[in-house]
Amino acid sequence: MNFSPTEIGSFQRCARKAWLTSKNGRHLTRVFNPLALNVGTLVHRAGQLWLEQPDIKLHTHAITAGNELLGETKQRYRMLVGGTPSEAELQITYESIGLALSMAENYQRRYATPLPPEYKLVSAEQIMRFPIPGTEHQLEGRVDALIQHVHTGRYDILERKTYSNRPKEHDLRFNFQFQAYRYLVHKITGFEDDLIPIVCYDGLWRRENPPRGRVFEDLFARYQLRTTPQELQDFEVQLAFLVNQMAEMYANPRLAYPHRPWNGCWDCGVIELCDSMTRHEDYELLIQANYTQRTDDYVPPDEDA
């Protein structure tokens, strides 16, 4: 089986969430996604287009991304309901596009170019796979961009994210997804330990303007996130343990138990399905009414690094 860092992260949080949302499980998504998810998708897509076509303004690429999102949302609705969504049902989508356009304009005003001058683009949306030692499985990842540090030749990873609360550099440094990406690039390139990849975190605050007491530059956060050879060795051991557990769970979905943290499941995305399953209700009716198959994480089987 192929396991993505996002899927493994979902499993670490809650096995049931992983089973419901990941492509090795039910692979479900809502027809109408929340604003935060939409904005993240739009900024991600616009950023990809800008990396590939830097002579076109980021705002223009964001318009393209917005049109794509609107079309995909209507298509999902037609597949599920058989009709056209109302303007009221599309309101969150419209709000998401408006916010993403403002964020794109602010980003180009702040940075002017899609990459810092010390980097050159290798590939946007780079897909990588690597066999996980001690398992029959592969780690599969798609980074926003594989970039090369001009001076050293080191291959690094660009990850562009949106956030509601400014993330702390310490927390990002130990983020599982980012460690998985560093592990993949390091294994595939085969460089020495003095050229371990760096994750270049490029964050955007989901706001059109800074709040009172903040300045324009506070709308952005950039960090260079590093790791060590010893941490990558520990990661490999942990990774094998996790994916073997996940494979067992997918083979027997009854093992997909929910984990409800003390602060609740407010950002779960499938909480109503989980509650229905816990109550032994016919949750398939909820799926038919509100969910469809995800398509945003499709990875062609022949696209290896």
Give the domain ranges of the chain: 31-112, 119-241
Tens-place pLDDT, residues 68-119 = 999 999 988 888 888 899 999 999 999 999 999 999 999 999 999 999 999 9
Of the candidate ranges 114-123, 164-173, 262-271, the one whose mean pLDDT is the lowest = 262-271
Does residue 303 register a pLDDT over 80? no
Q: In a 3-state reduction of DSSP, which class is residue 212?
A: coil
Tens-place pLDDT, residues 179-218 = 999 999 999 998 888 899 999 999 999 999 999 999 999 9
Which of 286, 250, 301, 243 has its CA nearest to residue 26?
A: 250
Which pTM does this prediction carry? 0.90
Res 292: pLDDT: 82
- What is d(CA 59, CA 104) in angstroms, rounded to the nearest whole number? 5
- What is d(CA 30, CA 62) in angstroms, rounded to the nearest whole number? 22
27: left (phi over 0), alpha (psi -120 to 50) or beta: left
Q: In a 3-state reduction of DSSP, which class is residue 88?
A: coil
190: left (phi over 0), alpha (psi -120 to 50) or beta: left
Of the candidate ranges 25-34, 57-66, 195-204, 225-234, the one whose mean pLDDT is the lowest = 25-34
Whole-number mean pLDDT of the chain?
92
Does residue 302 register a pLDDT over 50? no
CATH class in words for 119-241: alpha beta
Strand residue runs (E) in the chain: 2-3, 28-30, 119-131, 138-149, 155-163, 199-205, 220-225, 291-293
Distance of CA 120 to the CA centre of its chain: 22
Angle between helices 35-52 and 91-111 (to 10 degrees): 40
% of the chain residues with pLDDT over 70: 96
